[in-house]
């Protein structure tokens, strides 16, 4: 199937959440994008879930940039792991014979732990956090409700979306 036809829940199941650390209470919280579920209704996804503090734009932008850079660094580390369960060798060294495992008597194959596809899906996940329609579909509410929340903090979402778009434009799949 084409990647665009896969639902977000399936496509982003291996994506790491954006968990900035609140500058007020010093606890990490899950950034759920434009909006998150709150009974009853929805609330802005920017504020800390523990203390309700709203970090500055620069703080969240810096946290997102650092996370993206660490993911790119992990991709470029090119760590491979043997698919044989009894071996499970992790290495950055490739053999002359391609993807065969380096250990003698092991018939496993080496596979990338963090592939370009995983990195691309991770970046798409960050972009989806800033998308009105995807947030509305995830929360099962109307896009106009999400748009109201987005418009309250439009500068935040513009800046965060710009950071994600910048990294996607440089190294998109």
Contact 81, 110 (CB under 8 A): yes
Q: Does the bond joining 40 to the residue before it have cis omega, within 30 degrees of 0?
A: yes
Task: Provide the CA 25 distance to its chain's centre, in angstroms.
Answer: 23
CA distance 126 to 20: 13
φ, ψ for residue 103, nearest 5 deg: -75, 135
Q: What is the pLDDT along the chain (173 residues), one digit of tens a residue?
A: 577 788 888 889 999 999 999 999 999 999 988 988 887 888 888 999 999 999 999 999 999 999 999 999 999 999 999 999 999 899 998 878 788 999 999 999 999 999 999 999 999 999 999 988 888 888 888 888 888 888 999 999 999 999 999 999 986 66
State the chain's maximal CA–CA distance in angstroms: 61
Please tell me the pTM assigned to this model. Answer: 0.86
């Amino acid at each position: 199937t084409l990647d665009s036809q896969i639902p977000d829940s399936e496509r982003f199941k291996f994506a790491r959440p954006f968990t900035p650390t609140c500058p007020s209470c010093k606890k990490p919280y899950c950034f759920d994008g434009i909006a998150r579920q709150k009974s009853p209704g929805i609330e802005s996804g920017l504020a800390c879930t523990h203390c309700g503090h709203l970090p500055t734009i620069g703080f969240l932008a810096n946290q997102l940039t650092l996370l993206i850079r660490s993911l790119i660094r992990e991709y470029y580390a090119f760590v491979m792991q043997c698919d044989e369960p009894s071996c499970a060798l992790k290495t950055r060294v490739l053999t002359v014979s391609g993807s065969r495992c380096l250990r003698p008597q092991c018939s496993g194959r080496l596979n990338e732990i963090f592939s370009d596809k995983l990195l691309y899906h991770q970046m798409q996940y960050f972009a989806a956090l800033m998308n009105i329609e995807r947030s509305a579909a995830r929360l099962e509410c109307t896009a106009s409700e999400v748009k109201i929340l987005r418009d309250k903090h439009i500068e935040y979402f513009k800046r965060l979306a710009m950071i994600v778009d910048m990294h996607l434009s440089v190294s998109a799949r």
